[in-house]
């Protein structure tokens, strides 16, 4: 559900400012022929992303984790317009993919997705903090797997990485909260 909310906010934030500028006429988004084409491409991407998250939700609820992963793979493979909102949606999709892969004990797949997501978002943001949190959990799972396999030294290294990543996630989200409440959401 939170993914729906994020996408709704992203879509809303694109349309709303333009509506305010024009005195909010009825049917505002469609009444803006002069809007740059990039906005239309971004809106189309966000709409498709929302549909694919919905599809993944349905499949995940039905226990079809592979199907949910396939839906999200389609999302991250879509041609992506250059926009901050798009990068954030991609980062969030990679984080969700990594979480699903962790459920399937695919630690390597989860690692690849977290790394791809972190490439999409720079600087302290919720999305980066969330990816660091997921990466910490991935390293935690790796540590547990290595410990079970008797590789104590490697397990200890993975655990150290997990602790550092989870600590980073705490620090990033702390900054996100401070900034959000300090400037009233003007991020």
Partner 1 sequence: MSQRAEAIVTSTLAGAVIVLLHGCGGAQRAEAPPTSPSVQTTDTSPPSGVVTVPPATAAPPPPPTVPEDQALDRDRDGQRRAARADLEHAQQDLEAAAGACDAACRALASMERATAHLCSLAADPDDQRRCDDARQRLTSAQSRVRSACGACR
Measured from the CB atom, the residue of 86 and 131 that comes closer to partner 1 is 131
| 179 CB-contact burial (10 Å; exposed 0-12 / middle 13-18 / buried 19+) | middle
Report DSSP state, residue 63.
T
- Distance, CA of 31 to CA of 25 (rounded, Å): 8
Sole binder of partner 1 in the list 14, 69, 140, 142 (CB under 8 A): 140
CB of 102 to partner 1, least distance (A): 12
How many residues bind partner 1, per CB under 8 A? 35
On whether the CB atoms of residues 87 and 125 are closer than 8 A, the answer is no
On whether the CB atoms of residues 108 and 33 are closer than 8 A, the answer is no
Measured from the CB atom, the residue of 11 and 132 that comes closer to partner 1 is 132
Establish if 166 lies at the interface with partner 1 (CB under 8 A): yes
Stretch 81-120: interaction string toward partner 1, x if CB under 8 A: ----------------------------------------
């Amino acid at each position: 559900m939170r993914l729906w909310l994020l996408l709704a906010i992203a879509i809303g934030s694109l349309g709303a400012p333009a509506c305010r500028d024009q005195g909010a006429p009825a049917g505002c988004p469609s009444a803006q022929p002069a809007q740059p084409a990039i906005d239309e491409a971004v809106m189309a991407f966000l709409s498709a992303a929302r549909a694919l998250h919905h599809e993944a939700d349905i499949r995940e609820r039905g226990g079809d984790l592979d199907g949910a992963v396939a839906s999200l793979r389609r999302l991250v493979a879509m041609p992506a317009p250059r926009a901050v909102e798009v990068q954030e949606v991609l980062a969030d999709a990679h984080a969700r993919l990594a979480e699903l892969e962790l459920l399937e004990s695919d630690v390597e797949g989860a690692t690849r997705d977290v790394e791809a997501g972190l490439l999409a978002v720079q600087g302290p943001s919720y999305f980066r903090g969330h990816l660091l949190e997921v990466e910490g959990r991935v390293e935690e799972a790796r540590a547990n797997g290595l410990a079970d396999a008797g590789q104590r030294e490697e397990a200890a290294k993975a655990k150290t990485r997990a602790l550092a990543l989870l600590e980073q996630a705490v620090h990033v989200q702390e900054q996100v909260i401070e900034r959000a409440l300090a400037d009233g959401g003007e991020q």
